[in-house]
Chains A and B, each alone.
Chain A
Amino acid sequence: MEDFIAFIAKVMEVDPLELNEETTFGKYKKWDSVMHMRLVMEVEEEYDVEIPIDEVPNIKTLKQLFDYAKK
């Protein structure tokens, strides 16, 4: 999880200490709908996974995104 947070922080260009499992789409300022697209693409590429399109809008927290990365 730590590595994952570090990776997300790099993509968002923020301090990893600002992020945790509960960081939430829409609530955390940097994670808007544009960043959402980017996160999905970056995670798919970095972790070599496919996140089905219908799941994309259901991802609300970093924990949920992390669950896809692990698969």
Chain B
Amino acid sequence: MKIAILSNVTVDLLAGMLAKSAEVYLAAGFDTWQQEMIMPTSGLCESRPDSVAVLLHANAYADAWRAKEDGESIIDGWLEAIGSFSRRFPTTPVFVSSIDVCNLKCRYGSETRLDEYFENYLVERIEETRAKGYNVYLLPVKDVVAELGRRNFYSAKMWYYGAMPYSMKALAALNELIVRYANAAKGAKKKCLALDLDNTLWGGVVGEDGADALIFADVKEGARYKDAQRLIKKMKEQGVLLAILSKNNPEDVEQAFNRPDMVLKRDDFVAEAINWEPKCENVKRMAKTLNLGLDSFVFLDDNPAEREQMKAECPEVATVDFPTDTSALPETIAKIYDDYFFALDVTSEDVQKTAMYRAEKQRKVERESAVSVESFLQRLEMTMEVHLMKEDELKRVTQLVNKTNQFNVTTQRYGEEEIQRLGASDRSDVVVVHMADKYGDQGLVAVIILRYDEKNATIDSFLMSCRVMGREAEMEIMATVKKFLQKKGIALLRAIYRKTAKNAPVAELFEKFGFELTESSDTEKRYRINVDALPNKTNVFKEVVVQL
């Protein structure tokens, strides 16, 4: 990962800290950041970073903030420089800091608050730029200032001595913030938050105190739990899956969730284990049902014994420290989001994720009652759409390429820019697959990247969301690839399986398709097949629309 750091002040110390997490590009010279963004031959443009962080210290333009027009024109100038870079590198995210205008002092009582005006003006201009399609995000530096307070955030001495305005505390917080944003641009994160109930989502023990006596309200003691639930609900709406891990009687829990003031509802959870078995056994079972790895889970429980057991038995699960003072519970939840689930964008797939997982569970129930797999799959009335990646699918494809672990033959990760290049090149194609059935739309669920040389093609990547595993989708997809390659006049297809800790489900995939094994080692298998020998269409899909 390569981060470029640009600023109008000295940020060498920050660059040094960032270098522990990533390769860092730091522009030469002082306050050259706008030139770096505008000039196509600048070090920035030539270093091709994965993301760019622009850290702006408002005081460096002290005279600009005294009049509206002056300040606006400074900010407009920033956005022009950023826009110029962003147009040239549309897939490189640029994180632009919010500003803290703090030099307007000696103020009289009725003086206009120009500081807040400019801070908002910058935020609005960044949002406006984003809305026009630029890959530009607000880096919430002003939030850090507010959290730490100006007295702790700034070092007047270092500012006047070395044009470096930040304290060590501020540098540490800025480092963490930038790394979090840069990591989010790569898309790796956890998927499911597994929650205890009693004294975690509400105060009290429902089985003993009864649902009506739970500590849960809008003010005072109950509000810490209600606020915590509000945050968890928001996470769920942004694509975080929720699960219940509770030692309780299901009827008691039912009572608690029946309270009309409860923020979280039963159907906000994709899975629940309400019983007296060890929680680590429950989470393992849950991982299996949901087709997730154990390392996709984050666990929150007020009981230290439960946490210790989880850490010992399921070290892959991220077990979070519960605050000893529960007034910090909402803050703990917010930190869980930042640490484990933070994302730059929320796609429509993310919003519907819980609904999709719940529908999948429903399908499983039906599968168990179906006579044969084939008739079960036919009853799902599945449809498939296969086409070359479109521009508005780039983000979702990048997300899938970087987070799919199980059904992934090479586990080759690519950034947004590389994927766009692969899609645009005539030596490669990025094929995407959408699926839906009578229970709902699964969205973009599979990606195949093909590379060509002469009369041959190679499967560079083949990955599929675990949501649609076990539905013969891979067979159907391979059949469309077959037709596509035949049309292109390609006779031979090569493939590679690279073993990882997670991708055992596809270890025999190419054998299943009829490929011939040409080389094999502990970590890798190589295959080839004549395109004509690839599998034909299945008969389980109701409709398959191919535009290749």
Please list the residues of chain A having a beta carbon within 8 angstroms of any beta carbon in chain B: 33-34, 37-38, 40-42, 45, 51, 53, 56-57
Q: Which of B106-114, B132-140, B162-170, B509-517 lies at the binding interface? A: B162-170
- B168–A42 CB distance below 8 A: yes
Which residues on A sit within 8 Å (CB–CB) of B13?
34, 37-38
Which residues on A sit within 8 Å (CB–CB) of B418?
none
- B12–A41 CB distance below 8 A: no
Chain B contributes a number of interface residues (CB within 8 A of A) equal to 13
- B167–A41 CB distance below 8 A: yes
- B168–A38 CB distance below 8 A: yes
Which residues on A sit within 8 Å (CB–CB) of B155?
41
B 135-180 contacts with A by CB, 8 A: 155, 157-158, 160-162, 164, 167-168
Nearest chain A CB to B159 CB, angstrom units: 10
- Tell me the total A-B contact number using a CB cutoff of 8 A: 27
Which residues on B sit within 8 Å (CB–CB) of A57?
161
Which residues on A sit within 8 Å (CB–CB) of B12?
34
B16 touches A (CB below 8 Å): yes
5 interchain pairs, CB-CB under 8 A: A34-B10, A38-B13, A40-B158, A53-B161, A56-B161
What is the bound-complex CA distance between A33 and B164, given in angstroms?
Answer: 12
- A41–B158 CB distance below 8 A: yes
Interface of A: prevailing SS: helix
- A37–B161 CB distance below 8 A: yes
- B167–A53 CB distance below 8 A: no
Which residues on B sit within 8 Å (CB–CB) of A41?
155, 158, 167-168
Contact string against A for B residues 243-255, beta-carbon threshold 8 Å, 1 for contact and 0 otherwise: 0000000000000
Nearest chain B CB to A31 CB, angstrom units: 13
- A37–B167 CB distance below 8 A: no
- B160–A53 CB distance below 8 A: yes
Minimal Cβ-Cβ distance residue in A for B155 = A41
- B16–A34 CB distance below 8 A: yes
B 1-49 contacts with A by CB, 8 A: 10, 12-13, 16
Which residues on B sit within 8 Å (CB–CB) of A42?
168
Which residues on B sit within 8 Å (CB–CB) of A56?
157, 161
What is the bound-complex CA distance between A22 and B158, given in angstroms?
Answer: 24
Which residues on B sit within 8 Å (CB–CB) of A37?
13, 158, 161-162, 164
Which residues on A sit within 8 Å (CB–CB) of B164?
37
What is the bound-complex CA distance between A53 and B168, given in angstroms?
Answer: 17
Nearest chain A CB to B276 CB, angstrom units: 49
What is the bound-complex CA distance between A33 and B13, given in angstroms?
Answer: 10
Using known A-B contacts A38-B13, A41-B155, determine if residue A33 contacts B168 with beta carbons closer than 8 Å: no
What is the bound-complex CA distance between A40 and B158, given in angstroms?
Answer: 9
Nearest chain A CB to B5 CB, angstrom units: 13
Minimal Cβ-Cβ distance residue in A for B156 = A53
Minimal Cβ-Cβ distance residue in B for A52 = B157
Which residues on A sit within 8 Å (CB–CB) of B16?
34
What is the bound-complex CA distance between A33 and B167, given in angstroms?
Answer: 16
Which residues on B sit within 8 Å (CB–CB) of A38?
13, 168
Minimal Cβ-Cβ distance residue in B for A42 = B168
Which residues on A sit within 8 Å (CB–CB) of B158?
37, 40-41
What is the bound-complex CA distance between A60 and B158, given in angstroms?
Answer: 17
Which residues on B sit within 8 Å (CB–CB) of A51?
157
Nearest chain A CB to B19 CB, angstrom units: 11
Q: Given A34-B13, A38-B168, A56-B161, list of 6 further CB < 8 A pairs?
A: A34-B10, A41-B155, A41-B168, A45-B168, A51-B157, A53-B157
Minimal Cβ-Cβ distance residue in B for A33 = B162
Minimal Cβ-Cβ distance residue in B for A51 = B157
What is the bound-complex CA distance between A53 and B159, given in angstroms?
Answer: 10
Nearest chain B CB to A5 CB, angstrom units: 20
Which residues on B sit within 8 Å (CB–CB) of A53?
157, 160-161
Nearest chain A CB to B376 CB, angstrom units: 60
Nearest chain B CB to A16 CB, angstrom units: 20
What is the bound-complex CA distance between A38 and B162, given in angstroms?
Answer: 11
Nearest chain B CB to A19 CB, angstrom units: 19
Which residues on B sit within 8 Å (CB–CB) of A45?
168
Minimal Cβ-Cβ distance residue in A for B164 = A37
Nearest chain B CB to A46 CB, angstrom units: 10
Nearest chain B CB to A39 CB, angstrom units: 11
What is the bound-complex CA distance between A53 and B158, given in angstroms?
Answer: 8
Contact string against A for B residues 420-449, beta-carbon threshold 8 Å, 1 for contact and 0 otherwise: 000000000000000000000000000000
Nearest chain B CB to A37 CB, angstrom units: 5
What is the bound-complex CA distance between A1 and B205, given in angstroms?
Answer: 56
Minimal Cβ-Cβ distance residue in B for A45 = B168
What is the bound-complex CA distance between A41 and B169, given in angstroms?
Answer: 10
Minimal Cβ-Cβ distance residue in A for B159 = A53
Minimal Cβ-Cβ distance residue in A for B20 = A13
Which residues on A sit within 8 Å (CB–CB) of B160?
53
Minimal Cβ-Cβ distance residue in B for A34 = B12
